[in-house]
């Protein structure tokens, strides 16, 4: 894979992310025994994670789509 190819990066955005996908994160939370106050705090943090994860993907997608339509400097 060419790590500087925005088309490949755009394809990988939906396939693989460096951060755990929110569904996996939720499953990790559900599989851990937590005290009520700790569970409440983690749920609040997870809601922030969820919204920021989606927003980061949206921003990355917009940037990559613009790069894909551009011409490379050195062919």
With respect to residue 59, please indicate whether it lies within any of the assigned structural domains.
yes
What's the mean pLDDT when you consider all of the chain? 84
pLDDT of residue 6: 66
With respect to residue 28, please indicate whether it lies within any of the assigned structural domains.
yes
Tell me which residue has tokens 């980061």: 56
Q: Name residues whose C-beta falls within 8 Å of residue 61's C-beta, 6 or more positions apart in sequence.
A: 10, 13
Question: In total, how many domains does the chain have?
Answer: 1
Contact 64, 13 (CB under 8 A): yes
pLDDT of residue 28: 87
pLDDT of residue 9: 73
Distance in angstroms (rounded) separating the CA atoms of residues 75 and 64: 18
pLDDT of residue 16: 60
With respect to residue 17, please indicate whether it lies within any of the assigned structural domains.
yes
pTM (2 d.p.): 0.63
For residue 36, the enclosing domain spans 6-68
Q: pLDDT tens digit string along 22-53?
A: 888 899 888 989 999 999 999 999 999 999 99
With respect to residue 62, please indicate whether it lies within any of the assigned structural domains.
yes
With respect to residue 55, please indicate whether it lies within any of the assigned structural domains.
yes
With respect to residue 75, please indicate whether it lies within any of the assigned structural domains.
no
């Amino acid at each position: 894979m060419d790590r500087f190819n925005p088309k490949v990066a755009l394809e990988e955005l939906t396939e693989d992310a460096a951060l755990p996908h929110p569904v996996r994160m939720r499953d990790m939370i559900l599989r851990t025994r937590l005290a009520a106050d700790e569970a409440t705090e983690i749920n609040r943090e997870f809601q922030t994670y969820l919204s920021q994860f989606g927003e980061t993907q949206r921003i990355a997608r917009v940037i990559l789509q613009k790069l894909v339509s551009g011409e490379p400097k050195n062919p």
